[in-house]
Structure 1
Amino acid sequence: MDGDWEEVNRLPLPPSGEHAVPTPVTTLAFDNSHELLWAGNEYGRVTSFYGTELTQYTSFKAGEDPVRQILLHDRGVIALCSRSIHMAMRRGPPIWHIANDEMKDLRCMSFTSKGTSEILLAGLQDTMFIIDIEKGTVSKQIPAADHYTIMKRSRHICAATKTGAVNILDSTTFNVIKTWNAHSSLINDMDAQHDFIVTCGYSLRQGQSYMLDPLVNVFDLKNMISLPPVPFPAGGAYVRMHPRMSTTSIVVSQLGQIHIVDLMNVNTSNVRQANVLSYLSMVEIAPSGEAIALADAEFNIHLWGSPNRIRFAELSNPVDFAEPEDDHIALDWSVDTPLSSIGLPYYREQLLSAWPSHMIVEVGAPPSEIDPQYLATMKATEWGGYGRNRRNKKRNQVENTRTAEKAPTSLQAPKFLSEKARESANDTSTEKKISEVADALGATEISSLQTDVPIMYRIVEIKYSKFGVDDFDFAFYNETSYSGLENHISNSYANSLLQVLHYTPLIRNLALQHAATSCINDKCLLCEMGFVFDMLDKAEGTICHATNLLKTLSIHPQAGPLGLLEEDAPGASLTNMLQGLNRFLLDKIAQDYRSIPPHSAAFDQYKVLATPATMAIRCMSCRSEHTRPGTSFVHDLVYPIPKTLPRNSRAPKPSFCQILKASIERETTSRGWCSRCQRYQSLATRKTIHGAPAVLMLNAAINSPEAKQFWTFPGWLPEEIGIIIDQGQVYCYHGDDLKLHIQRGIHNITVYSLIGLAANVTSGQQQKTHLVSLVNVAHSQPMVPAESQWHLFNDFLVRPTKSEDALTFNSTWKIPSVITYQIKAANNRIDTTWKQNLDTSLLYMDLNPNLAEKRYRPLTPDEAPGEGTIIALDTEFVAIRQPEIEMNSDGERETIRPIAYALARVSVVRGAGENECIPFIDDYIVSKEHIVDYLTSYSGIVSGDLDPRFSKHNLVSLKVAYKKLWILLNLGCKFLGHGLKQDFRVTNIHVPKAQVIDTIDLFFVKARLRKLSLAFLAWYLLREDIQLETHDSIEDARTALKLYKKYLEFSDAGIIETILQDIYRTGREMNFKPPAAKKDGHLIQRMETPTLVADGADSGPSTPIKRPSGLSGPNVFIPGKASPFKY
C-alpha cells in the first residue's frame, strides 16, 4: 500500500426496491476481468458498481436467501445463496439457476482442479455439491468431512470449519489432506494464496465471552507446518493476502485499523485508519492489488486506493453499456428535398415493386461447356465436327446449365481455424461442436453406382488465409485415426500410391528396416518412404505431407525422362503417370534395399516384390530360341481382344483370375532383331514362372472402352485370390474354387489378400481428373480385427466406406489404376524390430571435421540420448516460392498459393548434463532449389551460406539433417523449442505431442488468444535481449531451454498463473514487443554463437556459464530489465 492511499469513494448499498429498507452487505467481490465491484445483500440481490465512481451497473435477483459468496467467471458471475446457486451474465440475464432439496445452508464455494469449469459447494450441512459450470448441473454429491463456513483455493482447497479448524482438501478427490487447528473457537475470516493460509478468529475468554484474537495465524501449505503468528493488538477481524506480493498480508480490525505486514518480517508494517462510524463487516482486495473495498454496519461501501492509479482488474475488458436510443430526426419535407434521402418506413401491404411471377422472364441461359475429351476425339469435316457422345445425357437432351453452375462441385470448405477461435472467444454460449462435421460428411453416402461423382470422391482443395496453410481446418475432412496427405505440393498425384504402399505391411517393414540403417544417400527413395510411413503411423489422423519424398523424386535423374513429373508432362494422364511411378518405385525399392550391406535375409526369403521368371524368345522365321531372365516387379493386366460373334450369341466374360494368369505369363509377338537371321523378324516371347512374390503389384492398364467394361461388374475384383505355380505355369483361383483347393490341400497354393487400390476419378466438366486410394486398413493392424475396414483416402479427406462401394467401379468416373495384393500369411505382421536396430552412428559423426569455425560439439557415446532426453531445437528457413495473391470480385486479397519454405539450418542443443546449452547439431542444408528470398532478417541466412562453393558453415544434405532428427525422435527424445509447429512442418517430420515441449504453449493463456514471442519472453523473464538484428537458431534454442527451466521453477513455486497474468499485462502495455536495448545511444549488436574451443586447447572456456536460478526463495521472482515487477 503506497503512501498516497486514501478513501476514494463511499456510497450506501442501494435497497432492493423503491420503498425497501436498506440492507447490510453480505459479501463483496472484485471482478477479475472488468472494472466492476460486486456486492450481495441478505435478500438474495446482487448489485455491481463500475469504476472508481462506483456507478451502479447491474442489479439482479440471484435467490431468496442471503448471498453468501460471489465468484467471477469468464462467462459471467456466480452467486451462492443459502439454498441455491445462480449464474448470470455481467449484464444481468441469467445463464442457469440450481436449487436442490439437499441444499439447506450453503456458506462457501471454490473452483476445483478443473479450473473455472467446475466448482465445489459446501456449508453447515453434511453434503457437498460439485457443479458443472458449462452445463449448469449438479454433476456429483459427496459427503462432507465437516461443516464449512469459508473456502479459499490456492495449492489446495482450504476450508474453515465452524470449530476454528482449517481442513486442507485435495482439489481433485476432495479428501482431507491435513487439518490445522487455527483458533480455539471459530474463524471469522481467512485467505489463502500461493503457499500461505492466514486466519483471523475468536477465542473464548473469561466471562464466557468471545473476543478477537490479537494474532493472525499463518500456515505454510508447501511444508504443511504452522508459521509464527503475526501480532495484531487491535484484534484481527479480517485478513487478505496481497494478490501480487506473495508474502504481504493486509489485516483489518473491526474499528477500521488497517495493517499491511510482511509475513516474513512482521516487525515492519504500514498502518492506515478507515473512517467508519460503527464497525466493519466485510473486506475485499482487488485482483490488481490497487484497491480495497470495506463494508460497514451502516450499509456503506468504502473504496480505498491511490487516486492517481486505481484499477480493479489486471487486464480489463471493456464493459458493455446499453446503447441510448436515437432521437427521432425531423425530416425536411419539401419539394426541394430528394425523396431518396428519406428512409422508408416499415410496411405491411404489398409494394408496387413486387411484380407478379408471370411478368418475370429469364434471359438466355449460358451454353453448356464442351467436354475436352469429346473435343480430343472429334472428327473434323467441312461443315464442323462430330464424335461419340461421351456425356451422360440422351441424344438431343437439353442441359439446365443454371442448375449445373449452382450445383456444388466439392465439399464446402470449413472456416479457418483463426475465424473459429475468434468466434468461440466472442460467443459465451457453447459453440457448434465438431460433431457437426460428422453430420456434414455423413449426409453424403458414398456410392460408386451413382451416375454423377459422389461429393466424397471429388477434388478437395486447400484454402489459404493470411496465416497460410496452418490455418486450414484439415480435421473437418478426417475424423479417423488414419492420416491423409496434403495435395498442394508438386507431384502430389503420388499420394494415392503412397497410401496403398503404407498399408502394405511387407513394404512398410522393408522401408522402415532400411531407413533405420546407416544410409545417407540423398537420392534413396526407400529411406524417404520409410520416413513418410513412420510419419503417417505417428500422426494418428493428423494431416501429413510428403514434401521431402516428392522433392527427392523430382531431383532423381530417371524421373524426368520416364514422364513421372507433373512439371515436365503438363496435361499427361495421371493414371498413366501413377502406373509408371509404380514400376519405378518398386524397382528402386529393390535397388535401395540391397545398397546397404549386409542386406536383410528377409528380402530374399519372402521374395517380396519380384516374380522370378525366365523369358523365352523364339524367331518365327528360323525357329531359333534363346532365354533370358524375365523377373518383373509389376504386372500390367492384359485384356482379351473382343471377337465378332454370331448374332444373338454371348461370349462368357473372363474372370479376374483368368486375366491375371494371362497377364503374368504374357505371351506376345513383336518385331525384333534376330542374331541368327541378322535382320528384324517377328519374335514370339513367353514366360516361364518360377515363383510367386509376397506382394503382387498390378497396373490395371485400362486403355480401351472394352477393358473398362470388365470392371463394371460388381464383385469382379475379388478380395482374396490363390495362386499355384506348377511347371512354369500360373493357376489362379478365387471364390468357391479357392476354398475347394484350400480344403483339398493337394497343391501348394499361395493365398493373397487385397490390400488396396488407387483409382482414377474423372469428374467431367466441373473438375479435373484426380486420383484416390481405397485401402483395407484391417490388414495393417497389429491385431487382426473382426471384419474388414475399407477406407477412402482422397488426399486429406479420409472416410470409412463399405467393401461393396470400394470394390465397385463405374466406367463413367471411377476406374482402378494400381492394385495391390499381399500374401495372407503376412497380414498384420508389423515389424518393429527396426527401432531396436536403429543405427545411431550419424549422431556421433562429424561430417566436416576440418571446418575452421565450429559452433557445435558432436555427441559422445557417453552422452547417448534415450527415452525422455530433452533436446532444444530451432530451425531457420528460406523462401523458395513467393505467395501468389489475387484480388477477388469483392476487392479482397485472396491467397492462391502461400509462400513455400525450405529448410536452411537445423540447430539442436543439449538440454541437460555437463554440456548443457552446448549444441551438438548445427547443420546448414545444401540448397538444390532456387531461393527467392533468404529472409535474412528472420533466418540469419545470407547468400552463399547454402552454396558448397562459398559456405564456411557445416553444410550437409537435407537427408543427413533430417535423419539426425528422425533418429532422435525414434530414440524417444523430447523436442523443446518455441513455436515448434512451423519447424516440424518445414522439416516434414511429425513428433507426437508426448515428445514436444513448446514454450509458446507453456507461456500462453488461452483466453488471451495471443501467443508471446521468444524475444519478448526472453526480455521479460531472462533479462536478455535476443534477435536484435537477426535470428540465430542456436541462440533461440538456448533461450527456449532457459525459459523452460524458468517455467519449471514457477510451477514448483505455484506462481505460474500470477506470472502469466503479469506478462500479458506488461505485453499489452508494450504492444508485446521488448524495448530496443541501447547502450551509450547505440544499438547493442547481437552476439553470434561463440565458437567452441577444441578439447585440450589452452583457451579458457567459451561456453556460457550456467547462472544461478532466478528464484531466490520459494515465492520470489527476479524480473527482467525495465520490468514492472521491479520495485
Structure 2
Amino acid sequence: MNFEGLTPSLAEFAAPLHPALEPVLDPHLPPSLVELDPEGVALEGLPVPDPVHLLEGMYSELHTAVSEVGVPAAVAHFDLHEEMLWVGNHGGHATSFFGPTLERYSSFQVNSSDDIRQIQSLENGVLFLTKSNLKYLSRGGLIIFDYLMDESEDMHSLLLTDNNTLLVAGLQNHVLEMDLNTVQETQKYTVEVPGITIMRQSNRFFFCGHTSGKVSLHDLRTFVVEHEFDAHSGSLSDFDVHGNLLVTCGFSSRMNGLACDRFLKVYDLRMMRATTPLQVHIDPFFLRFIPTYTSRLAIISQTGQCQFCEPTGLANPADIFHVNTVGPLIMTFDVSASKQALAFGDSEGCVHLWADSPEVTFNAYSRETDFALPCMVDTLPHLDWNQDLVPLSLIPVPLTSDALLSDWPAANSAPAPRRAPPVDPEILRTMKKVGFIGYAPNPRTKLRNQIPYRLKETDNEFDNFSQVPESPIGREEEPHLYRVAKKYRKVTIKYSKLGLEDFDFKHYNKTLFAGLEPHIPNAYCNCMIQVLYFLEPVRCLVQNHLCQKEFCLGCELGLLFHMLDLSRGDPCQGSNFLRAFRTIPEASALGLILADSDEATGKVNLGRLIQSWNRFILTQLHQETQEQEGPQAYRGAGSSFGSSGDSVIGQLFSCEMENCSMCRCGKETVRVSSTLLFTLSYPDSTGNSRAQPPQLAGVCYP
C-alpha cells in the first residue's frame, strides 16, 4: 500500500486497516476444510484481530471465509432481502454466509459440471444461472424450479427487470425474456451484436455489455437499440451506471493481442457522448459505483489492488489498497445494497469481506433469517423399539399449521375399496325373490360375529387362524360356543389344582395394567375401584393412609392399590377390601351388600347400585381421612393434600350447596353444606316435541 499523502494523524489507523499476515484459523470452519498452502498459510482465512478499529468512510478487511478449498470462486452476490452473502464457484457449488462474521449458512450443489455464471436473490429464493440452465432454489437448497435451455446456448448474464420478469443473455444473438410465475419464455429479442456478458438497468435504458467492447443502450419496452458506445477496441471487462454517468473498463488490441486499458471510459448519458477518460494507477478488471456521500468508483484489479476515485476527478495513488488474497487472482467482486460492505472472491475459493465499520449491515431493512432448529436427539429419551408398549408420545411433536412431510397428497393416491367376499352358492340356490329383494335361509356356514375380515378360498378355514386358547378346564361343557368366534367369546377362568399358575393371563392381557378377579362376592365394585386407582391424588391419599382401625376402607384400599402397582399385568383379588366393606353397617343399610342369589338371578339394577356405592365410598373415605390428625395420617404426603379441616376427597369431589328455607312470615334461612355427588334426574318424556329442553340446574339433585 502507498501511504504517501496521508496526514500524520492517520498513522494510528494504518495497522488495523491492513492486519499482519500471521495465519489465524477461523474457529467457525470445520477441521476437515483446514488446508495449508506450501508457505504454511491457512486457506480458510485471515480474520481481522479483535478488536477491529476501522476508519469511518474507509474500507478495510473485516473477515475471510472459505467456500470450497481449491475451487475458484466464480461469482459473489449480496442477498437483497437477508443479511447473507452468496458465493458460487467453478464447480457448480453454491455457499451462503450469514452476517459480517461470514458464518456458513447453507451449502449445496447447483450444477454437476458447469460453473455458476450469475446469482440473483429474490424474496422466496435465489436464482442461479449456469451455461444452459436456470435454477431457482430456496435459501436452504430445495429446488423451486429447474429450467433447462437449449444445449447450444451459452448464457452469461441475467437481469431482473421487475418482480416476475427476467432477461437472460449470452454469446448467442438473442435475449430471452422469462416469466418467473409460469417459468415460460415470453419474448425472444434479437440483437445485432452477439455476445452479451453484462447487463445493467436504469430508469431510461437497458445497458448491454458485449465481448467486442461495445455497450448498447436498449429501450425498456421494445428492447430496440437506441444508442451504442464503442468503448474498447479489444474486449469489455466491466461497466457500471449511476445517474447520468456510464463508466467502462476493458482491453485494447495491441500487436495482435489484448492489453489492459488503464483509462476508464466515461460517458455522459444526457448528451450521449464521451467525456474525459479517467486514468487509474492499476489494471482495472472490476468497477462499481459506491454512491454514499459522493459518487465514488471502486476499481479492482485482478491481482488484488483496489482504488477509490471520483469519476470526474483525478485518481490519487494514495487511495490504493491491497486485498490479502490467498489465491493469486481476484475472480469476482460485489458491493452490498447498503454500500457498507465489499466482497472479493479469489482463485483458491476464499471470500474476503471488507467493510467501513465493524457493525456492518448488508441491507438497509433486512428481514430475519430462518435458522435450523437445534438438534434434539441428545435430549430425547431412548426408545426401545423391541417393546410393544413403549408410547411414541415420549418424543414431542411441534405444533404446526403447515402440511406434515408424512401427509400423502391426494394426487398420488387412488381409492381402493375393500373387495366384498363372494356370496355362498347355497344362499343363491335357496334364494326366493319378492320384487327386487331376495330372501334365503341362513346356511350357518359363516360366523354370526364375523372375525377379522378375510377373503377365504375354502369354507372350512373360517376358524383355523383364531388361536385364542380357552380355559384349561371345561372346554366341552358349552358345545354351542362354536357358533361364536373365539376372539369374541367370554373367557371363563376356572382354576385347577395349581390355581392361577395354570392359566396364561399374559395371552389375554399384554399390557402392564392389572385387572381384578370377578369370581368373588360383591365384585360389581371392581369397575369403580379401577376408576379410583387411576385418580392419582386418591391413589396417593389411600396409599399414605395409616390408622388403628380393624376394618378401615382407606387402609384396605391402599393395600389393594399397592398390589395393583406391583402386579405388572397379573390379576389381583380384592378379598380384604370387600371383607371390610361387608362389615360396615351403613353399607348393609344402603343395600350395597349383595347375596349370591341376587347376583345369580341378574335382577339387580347395577347402574343404580354402582352410583350408590360411589356415593358411599367417597363419603366413607372423606370421613376416615378427616378423623386422623398429626403426621400419621399422611406419611410423606406434605401440606399439598389440604388443610386439617378438609380432605383430598373434599377438594376433588365436593361442591358447596346452599339450602334456602323461607317461612311464611318471610324469614329466610340459608344453610351451607357440601355434597360429593349430584344425581342427574331427567324428566319423563311426555311426547310433546315442542317442550323446552331441561336446564342443567333443573336435573341436578344432591
Pair in the same fold by TM > 0.5: no
- Structure with higher Rg: it is 2
Short-chain TM bin: 0.3 to 0.5
The alignment's TM-score, normalised by the length of structure 2, stands at: 0.45
